[in-house]
Structure 1
Amino acid sequence: MAKQVLITLLLLFISSTEVVEGTKKSYGIYDNKNNNSVKLFVFGDSYVDTGNTMQSRSYKPPYGMTYPGKPVGRFSDGRVLTDYIASFLKIQTPTAYVLRNSSTLQYGVNFAYAGTGVFQTSVDGPNMTVQIDSFEKLIQQNVYTKQDLESSVALVSASGNDYIAFVNKGNIIDIKSFTSSLINQLSMNVQRIHDLGINKIAIGLLIPIGCVPRITAITFHLSCVDILNLISVNHNQMLIQTVLQLNQQVGKSVFVTLDLYNAFLSTIETMQKQQKENSTRMNPLKSCCEEEGLTNSCGSVDDNGENKYTLCENPELSFFWDNLHPSQNGWHAVYTLLQSSLGQLIDKN
């Protein structure tokens, strides 16, 4: 019985997969005169994507309504994790890879692409291996020097879409072995980033997937679904152990984990207490851009041009923007809790 419940819940989560079309273009070599000592290179999915997924709803209103005031490719009403980590490093947000020919690359490059994972989870979106391939090409083209890379930081945030794709194949019984293979591949990926010259790599832990509005809808947004959060817990325990081993191998603290799991839970719990004390506060388990049923309809209109979504009155009080992604307010709260870990990224030891 418990297994059937788990499968049902996971299938609900699967329905959230972002379907997008890739943008295929040919680009040349760049002349990047780099005067900034710290750069940020980003690899992952929609949680850190700042504009690479051009044929997606993130380029349609109401996305971007809080910042910068229009849709620019972020899956939020405003800033996402990438923006906050860039601000911590005292640099501007790095250029989305797809925009590299028309923007400065002095602050780094963001290779993240919505719907992608460590493995191939999107029809034509670049998985993490392909994203790292693109990074290596820039290095081969002498866009960045060895000194540039040594003083830079990489951000890695992926795996959620891998679990969606895995369960979609109906192999839920083998999830433990899948987690092991996923962590092994992720380990090889971050080692490769280090081998390419990056000495500080931040790796996001998997969020509590049982807390996203797509899932909490089955509890009427009253609570997270703990049985699904166990998937995240097991993933994170294995990842933390792997990172410890990697740092031991290199003899220094190259790899840093960002505890998104507890940052999400802590923020949600705090906001739930605030809601109990003040009924005008928004339920953190509900999305601000409320979508129809289980569809990804935020940003969509019907045949008559009418919105297929409704907006909350105060996005600045929400935690989730749509059924999967935090709002700017949510990301800011999470970032605030991550700052102690982020300090390790500027530690020269």
Structure 2
Amino acid sequence: MAKQTHDLSLLSLLVFLNLFAIFTVIEGSSVKKKLFVFGDSYVDTGNFLNSPAFKPPYGDTFPGAPAGRFCDGRVLSDYIAASLVKIESPVAYEQRKSANQSVIENGMNFAHGGTGVFQTMVDGPNVTTQIDKFQQLLQQNVFTKQDLQSSIALLNAASNDFSTFLLKNGSTSDLPAFAESLVNQISVDLERIHRLGVNKIAVGLVAPLGCLPLLSVSSSHQNCSDEANKLANYHNNLLLKKVKDLNNNSQSSSGDPVFITLDLYNAFLNTITTLQKQHAENPRMMNPLEPCCVGVNGGECGSVDKKGEKQYKVCEKAEESIFWDNVHPSQNGWLAVSTALQSSFQQQLSI
């Protein structure tokens, strides 16, 4: 009888071990997707400390107070996380130490407003430095290899590089060569993220720069600047070709393309064109090329004078605007763009 009891105990142990192995496989196959974000203010959710994004009226729409987003509310990375990856927006790197583990499980945002692919700020981390920070967290085992295999990276940068180049050089003659060097460096950055273990990486095409209020003001916000949009198109065509080359040399374990592009250019331009037609028919609608938050008395959005008086004014209906300030889309603008991108994003990433 004692031997039979021993045999039953052994059998029970084997069954338990088999069940545990099955459970482990199931658990491993359903690892929560994470999003890792690199780039500039279009995707920064709070890394540029002491910036205007931490002052009113930024954040008025969401979360209701300044939170470090260069917008009245959510930015592109927020919508990529919520609508396309189906997770909560990952925590900003600079705020990681105060975040609980459940937030870390969504990934991390390394993007920093004002930065670029190259060095566009004295002390702001460019994309290379942002990836350095990501690699350091991997070396510290904050994220595992399995985390990366089931995750997505988003890289959006280049606009600040062009503006910095023009400010320094004052000439457009060398822009084509600069655009090529920019795209080559983006390629290096994308490959590096892939080598670190991320198998699905999205890179944003440059938005129609000529439609930014900063440039459309020359036509009283009636038209986009054709020259600036041609520059954006030139850059985007180079990047599309580079991504195609990268995919020809890289394959994920599933056989799907590793690298995809987010067509911010056409998503924005189509939205603006549609709203311009509606505005022409109904002038009471907000002009899509006008910013919602504008500077007054020599100020800019978010600035105050020595007495603390506002040097800006905000439109009555931010929810109808496409641009929040002179260079940043509003939450409504980002919602329209992310909605336009949703189908192609999910198809290309097979999610």
Shorter-chain TM-score bucket reads 0.7 to 0.9
Q: 1:302 aligns with which of 299, 305, 312?
A: 305
Unaligned runs of 5+ in 2: 1-29
Match of 1:317 in 2: 320
Which structure: larger Rg?
2
Structure 1 residue 290, shift from structure 2 partner: 1.2
**Structure 1 residue 202 displacement after superposition:** 0.6
Is 2:90 aligned against 1:90? no
- Partner of 1:202, secondary structure, is strand
Of 270-279 and 68-77, deviating more is 270-279
Q: Distance in 1 between matches of 2:345 and 2:49?
A: 29
Q: Give the partner amino acid of 1:262.
A: N
Q: Per-residue deviation at 1:165?
A: 1.2
TM-score of the pair, normalised by structure 2:
0.87
Counterpart residue number, 2:284? 280
Q: Which residue of 2 aligns with 1:269?
A: 273
TM-superposition CA deviations, 1:279-305 (whole Å, max 9, x none): 22100100000124886x111111222
Q: Say whether the 8 Å CA contact 2:118–2:127 is kept in structure 1.
A: yes
- Structure 2 residue matching 1:154: 3-state secondary structure: strand
Q: Which residue in the other structure is 2:241 paired with?
A: 241
Name the CA distance, whole Å, in 2 between partners of 1:131 and 1:292.
35
Asked if 2 retains the 8 angstrom alpha-carbon contact of 1:291 and 1:323, the reply is no
Residue 34 of structure 2: which of 16, 35, 39 is its match?
Answer: 39
Partner of 2:260: 256
Question: 2:209 & 2:178 partners in 1: Cα distance?
Answer: 17
The one-letter code matched in structure 2 to 1:136 is: Q
- Residues 154-165 of structure 1: pairs in structure 2 closer than 5 A: 154-165=153-164
Secondary structure of 2:104's aligned partner: coil
Report the counterpart of residue 144 of structure 1 in structure 2: 143
What is the aligned-residue RMSD (CA, Å)?
Answer: 1.4
Per the TM alignment, residue 36 of structure 1 is displaced from its structure 2 partner at its CA by: 5.2
CA distance in 2, matches of 1:283, 1:303: 32
Note the 1:68-107 alignment, pairs <5 A: 68-87=63-82, 88-103=84-99, 104-107=103-106
Matches within 5 A, 1:329-340: 329-340=332-343
Shift of 1:172: 2.3
Q: Which runs of 5+ in 1 are unaligned?
A: 1-34
8 Å Cα contact 1:317/1:329 also seen in 2: yes
Which structure's relative contact order is higher, taking Cα pairs within 8 Å and 6+ residues apart?
A: 1
The residue type paired with residue 123 of structure 2 is D
Task: Give the secondary structure class of the aligned counterpart of 1:100.
Answer: helix
Q: CA deviation at 1:344?
A: 3.7
For residue 5 of structure 2, what is the aligned residue in structure 1? none
- Aligned equivalent of 1:59: 54
TM-score (norm 1): 0.87
Aligned-residue identity in percent: 55
The separation in 2 between residues aligned to 1:344 and 1:37, in whole angstroms, is: 19
Please give the secondary structure, in 2, of the residue aligned with 1:51: coil
CA contact (8 A) 2:293 2:312 kept: yes
Structure 1 consecutive aligned stretches of length 4 or more whose deviation exceeds 3 Å: 292-295
